[in-house]
Amino acid sequence: MTAVDWWPGSVYAWAAGEGRSLLPLRRWLARDRGVPKSHQNVTGYWTEQPAAVSTAEVSGPAPTDPHVLLSPVPWFASRAALSLGLLDAVADAPRPVGALADALGIAGQTIEALVDYLVVIEVLLRDGEAVRLGPVGELVLDEDELRGEHDDGLEGRALAALAELGPAVGAGQSAYARHHGRSLWADLQDDRELFADQLGEARGFPFVVRGLPALASWQGARAVTVTGIGAPTLVATEGLEEVRFTVVEPPVPAAVLREEIASAEVRVEHGFERSDLVVAALALRYRTDDEVRALLAQAAASADRLLVVEELTDPTVVPTDHEAEHLLLRLSGTGSPTRTPERIVALAGDSGWDLVRHTSLGWNFEAFELTRTGA
């Protein structure tokens, strides 16, 4: 792979196989070739592991031990190891701790303290005087979702902000903003890679997008402004070739979306202009309530009709463990775990909109057709 001559233009890398064998490829794509995460699909479907490394043979507290279950130390230690480059440094072969300290620019006693604990939780394993990746460390490097929970991406930042969740909830604030000093949306609109990573969160939108033009609010709309991570999907929908689309986002997200949108006929701008209809396509999920109000107020100054499309959680269904964790991270990120239809209508009302119709599109996607108050 590394010896292949690359053609000019953008690349999309797809690879699958044994997890550990793909680690050098991941690093080469990201570091040497500069391929963004949005243009990679590298999946380790299994990991070969010697029987001697089996976690079943390692003595220690049972997983149900509350001291283990409630301790934040493993996550913070693993996150530190990842951010310092320690895990990548031993991904290919064992290395002496002293050599790691020199290579990473970390004091010897400092790295020894971190390594000792990482060995306890099997992120690393001792190999004589050297250390190598342990089974947990391999998983952190190999599984995109697990790595995302530990790196400096959006999920890792939201997890770090949980340290401020109690004070933030008590003060009616976002834990993310309290911890990082700025809102989640402020970070997204200033960080190209962070915003690009979120486009994958719209993966269910293509299954329902064809239902939008059939809604009453769309009828007669020829100039349509779209904002949100669902914009690339919407503007590429078949049957809408006669619609003059304008995608509106701040400069950094706008540049990302320009690359994602194939049609040169679609304009990408930084501010709202007069149009027949504004569509907020998955645009609210990363914003606080105040930021939602500000966005919808901008829309109210440019159109008389608004269509808000969001993926919502059914409050009558008990969430799975994973869903409950996801909702908590949303609470950390925006100050709201999930918005109900009533909440979205109320926020729109605060911004000068009246609800005309609420339609369930399927796959938990909901559409809110609104008209400007007094129009």
As a whole number of angstroms, the distance between CA 131 and CA 57 comes to 19
Residues in contact with 111: Cβ distance below 8 Å, sequence separation at least 6, in sequence order: 86, 97, 100, 101, 104
- At 64 the pLDDT is 64
Kindly report the average pLDDT of the chain as a whole number.
Answer: 90
Environment class of residue 144 by beta-carbon count within 10 Å: exposed (0-12), middle (13-18) or buried (19+)?
middle
Cα–Cα distance between 95 and 133 in angstroms, integer?
A: 10
Q: Exposed, middle or buried, 61 (CB in 10 Å: 0-12/13-18/19+)?
A: exposed
Percent of the chain with pLDDT over 90: 68
- pLDDT of 190 strictly over 90: yes
On the 0-12 / 13-18 / 19+ scale of CB atoms within 10 A, 63 is: exposed
* Same domain membership, residue 224 and residue 85: no
Residue 3 domain flag: no
CA–CA gap between residue 347 and residue 278 (Å, rounded): 16
The domain that holds 264 is classified in CATH as 3.40.50.150
What confidence score (pLDDT) does residue 48 get? Answer: 63
Looking at residue 32, the DSSP 8-state letter turns out to be I
Same domain, 134 and 192: no
pLDDT at 63: 56
Q: What is the pLDDT of residues 204-223, one digit of tens each?
A: 999 999 999 999 999 999 99
User: Nearest to residue 278, comparing CAs of 243, 252, 251, 254?
Assistant: 243
> Residues 206, 123: one domain?
no
Q: Any idea of the CA torsion for 325, 189, 163, 88, to the nearest 10 degrees?
A: 80
Pairing of strands 305-311, 277-281: parallel
232 located within any domain = yes
- Domain membership flag for residue 179: no
Q: What is the pLDDT of residue 55?
A: 45
- Largest separation between any pair of C-alpha atoms in the chain: 76
Residue 27 placed within a domain? no
Q: Which pLDDT score, from 0 to 100, does residue 149 have?
A: 87
In which domain, by residue range, is 120 found?
A: 49-148
Q: Which residues contact 174 (CB under 8 A, 6 or more apart)?
A: 161, 168, 183, 184, 288, 332, 333, 334, 335
The reply to whether 257 and 188 lie within a common domain is yes
* Whether residue 144 is found in the same domain as residue 193: no
Mean pLDDT across 252-256: 97
Q: Are residues 135 and 214 in the same domain?
A: no
Question: Which is nearest to 227 in space by CA: 253, 208, 191?
Answer: 253
Q: Is 177 within the bounds of a domain?
A: no
What pLDDT does 13 receive?
Answer: 86
Would the pLDDT of 49 be above 70? no
56-60, 98-102, 336-340: range with lowest mean pLDDT: 56-60
Chosen domain end from 148, 171, 202: 148
Residue 231, pLDDT > 60, answer yes
* The two three-digit tokens of residue 292, written as one number: 């939602």
Q: Are residues 259 and 112 in the same domain?
A: no
Q: What's the pLDDT score for residue 31?
A: 72
Average pLDDT in the 360-374 region? Answer: 96
268 inside domain: yes
Residue 76 in domain: yes
Residue 49: left (phi > 0), alpha (psi -120 to 50), or beta?
A: beta
Angle formed by the axes of helices 154-161 and 73-84, nearest 10°: 140
Whether the Cβ atoms of residue 287 and residue 295 lie closer than 8 Å to each other: yes
Give residue 214's identity as a one-letter amino acid code: A
Instruction: Give CA angle at 33 (32, 38), nearest 5°.
Output: 125
39-48, 193-202, 228-237: which has the highest mean pLDDT? Answer: 228-237
The answer on 201 and 339 residing in a single domain is yes
**Quick one: pLDDT at residue 62?**
52
Asked whether residue 238 carries a pLDDT value surpassing 60, the answer given is: yes
Q: Mean pLDDT across the stretch 259-264? A: 92
| pLDDT tens readout for residues 129-182 | 899 999 999 889 877 778 888 888 899 999 999 999 999 999 999 999 999 999
- Give how many domains the chain has, as a whole number: 2
Portion of the chain with pLDDT greater than 70, in percent: 94
The residue with greater pLDDT, 290 or 313, is 290
- Give residues with Cβ within 8 angstroms of 349, minimum separation 6: 355, 373
Statement to judge: residues 208 and 68 lie in one domain: no
Q: Which residues contact 49 (CB under 8 A, 6 or more apart)?
A: 135, 138
Residues 133 and 62 in one domain: yes
Q: Examine residue 7 and state whether it is found in any structural domain, yes or no.
A: no
Q: Are residues 189 and 266 in the same domain?
A: yes
Residues 250 and 304 in one domain: yes
Q: Which of 358, 348, 369, 367 is nearest to 309 (CA)?
A: 367
The end-to-end CA distance of the chain, in Å, is 60
Q: What pTM does this model have?
A: 0.83
Q: DSSP secondary-structure letter at 224?
A: E
Q: Which of 104, 122, 148 lies at the terminal end of a domain, its last residue?
A: 148
